[in-house]
Copies of this chain bind each other. A is one copy, B any other.
């Protein structure tokens, strides 16, 4: 069986690519990776051939194509019987809900604090809407950790799809210096230490492309 190919954007910038990649990589499932850098003259034409939405990420699995990061996680979770969801019913319900909430929501947070793994930014003041988004994310992390703290360091104990979905928010908090509660900070540290996320960040730091107004000089080591 040929391994599926996950098509992703720049590791430094593409938060949706990170979500799908992180779950697959952390789960140990076999997949190839193809990087299509964003914001280049050929991006649009290349992606138009790979995905009906023209966006990254997309998974090419034989004749099947799966787009939308959460759909990719669920597809691979089901196909390979991975441990993406908690087994306990109430925790599983919460995990499904917060993953879909992340997938469809937090527009202000995503707009104002774009992912930029390797950068550190000061002086970014979130709007009231982005602040509400951040407060809601903190409430989610607190709620999950207070419920599942005895089972492990991640949102529902063991690493799962929910952690993949919120990983870019952890990276944004670091990039923009968002103040975290003790519990949220502990979660962020645990996720940041995950070998798969570390591998992603290392690759992001090695990428040559710079998009927009990023000043490479402002970067510090993670």
Please report A residues at the B interface, Cβ cutoff 8 Å: 52-53, 61-68, 70-71, 74-75, 78-79, 89-90, 92-94, 96-97, 99-101, 103-104, 136, 139-140, 143
A67 touches B97 (CB 8 A): yes
28 contacts between A and B (CB under 8 A): A52-B140, A52-B143, A53-B101, A53-B136, A61-B93, A63-B90, A64-B90, A64-B93, A65-B94, A65-B97, A66-B94, A66-B97, A67-B101, A68-B97, A68-B101, A70-B100, A71-B93, A71-B97, A71-B99, A71-B100, A71-B101, A74-B96, A75-B92, A75-B93, A78-B92, A79-B89, A103-B104, A104-B104
Count of identical protomers in the assembly: 2
Question: A64-B89, A64-B90, A139-B52 given as contacts; is B96 within 8 A of A75 (CB)?
Answer: yes
By a CB distance below 8 angstroms, the chain B residues around A66 are 93-94, 96-97
CB distance from A173 to the nearest CB of B (A): 20
Complex alpha-carbon distance, A74 and B98, angstroms: 13
A110 to chain B, nearest CB (A): 11
